[in-house]
Amino acid sequence: MAEYSAFSLLRNALSGNRDWKPAWRKPSPKASYDVVVIGGGGHGLSTAYYLAKEHGITNVAVLEKGYLGSGNVGRNTTAVRSNYLLPQNTRFYEHSMKMWENLSHELNYNVMFSQRGVLNLAHTPGQLDDLARKGNAMRHLGVDADLMTPAQIGRRVPGLDMSQSARFPIYGGLIQESAGTARHDAVAWGYARGADRRGVDIIENCEVTGFLRDGDRVTGVTTSRGEIRAKKIAVAVAGSTGRVMQLAGIERMPIESHVLQAFVSESLKPFLDTVVTFGMGHFYVGQSDKGGLIYGGDLDGYNSYAQRGSLPIVEEVMSEMLALFPSLATVRVLRSWGGVCDMSMDGSPIIATGPLPGMYLNCGWCYGGFKATPASGFCFAHTIARDAPHELNAPFTLDRFSRGTVIDDKGQGPTPRMH
């Protein structure tokens, strides 16, 4: 495949851009593979990439029912962070953060990772104390975190309503300066290209319709393009996990599927150089390199597999944005979309073997799927290759709910939509 560099750009510019090679092949599925990864999103593609790169397993197929990037990897608000309270999550997401820092160089593909910071706002003294607690927990594990005063926040984000007459006065905030954003579809394309170059078959428009079994063991899949056998089957389909697992005869999973909406505004001159989150509701906003505001809020309050949401959440998100940034009242929304989130019972992911022999499971990402992409693929590939978890994903087992060893970072209890 083509190497991307300043020299290749110049060479192809001089030749009228007629000599670019495809970023990845369009192979037909083979009859069998060592590993089949179901799901061509960020986690599935990164898993295939690290299977080849770290473990030398290249006889791998990634099956995507649509086109690459059509799922959640292309439907998120692009934030990357590791500001968690519990050590299991903090260590995992901080490892992912370190991988993000070198990802463009490793993939030879610009994922546009920008460490512009993520700022969590506090609107009561008690909320500020809670952010201080989280910040101390982060710093204890070597993750950067700093409390900010209202004066510092006003200078950093001048568009915020910092007045005491504001509906939700700002008492301070917690910022993680190493956090930031990345270009979501570039991440999918970069991992696809990297996996393809190492011999992985990426098969688009190939929907899994069933599983082949030998007793309890999973030995392959039936698809819209025929049967494919494999020694190992990895499932990484985010909000479609429940549906795919039903095809394997697993009727109940400790997750729910919910729609999460996102929005982008018309382009504005640069005025927001960080990601800001609202403390009195579920709202977060950043500004893209093209000038559009990318923002989102809470889940729609019902289970769904639809990639679109409801109007009450639209109204709620807009009202929360105006509570923080009244000057944005006349800014126009260009478009909105929805992604199907796989919400786990404790708000933490599942990266584990099972629940059937020959099957491996990656799901339960809630809001955290995009930022986890590098570490998720790295740890899932380790689990598949060695039939044992990496130390970073060892806590994220499927049976932790029955054992009572939940990892509830928000303390919301067994209510998936609250995480």
Average pLDDT over residues 311-315: 93
Provide the b/e sequence for 126-143 (b: ≥16 CB within 10 Å). Answer: ebbebbeebbebbeeeeb
404 vs 45, 83, 100, 296, CA distance in Å?
32, 24, 32, 32
Domain 111-180+256-342 has CATH 3.30.750.210: no
- d(Cα 266, Cα 264) in Å, to the nearest integer? 7
Q: Are 39 and 236 in contact (CB under 8 A)?
A: yes
- d(Cα 324, Cα 318) in Å, to the nearest integer? 10
Which tokens sit at 142?
């070597």
Per-residue pLDDT at 309 exceeds 80: yes
Per-residue pLDDT at 2 exceeds 60: no
Q: 147 or 15, which is more confident? A: 147
271 vs 155, 176, 286, 292, CA distance in Å?
12, 19, 10, 11
Give the amino acid at 75: R
Please write the tens of the pLDDT for every residue from 80-117: 999 999 999 999 999 999 999 999 999 999 999 999 99
pLDDT on residue 415: 85
- d(Cα 81, Cα 49) in Å, to the nearest integer? 22
Among 42, 83, 278, 296, residue whose Cα is nearest residue 179: 83
Give the amino acid at 99: M
Q: Which fold has domain 28-78+184-255+346-418?
A: FAD/NAD(P)-binding domain (3.50.50)
234 vs 34, 59, 62, 115, 388, CA distance in Å?
11, 14, 9, 32, 14
Average pLDDT over residues 55-76: 94
pLDDT on residue 1: 43
Domain segments of the chain: what residues? 28-78+184-255+346-418, 111-180+256-342
Average pLDDT over residues 20-43: 95
Please write the tens of the pLDDT for every residue from 244-291: 999 999 999 999 999 999 999 999 999 999 999 999 999 999 999 999
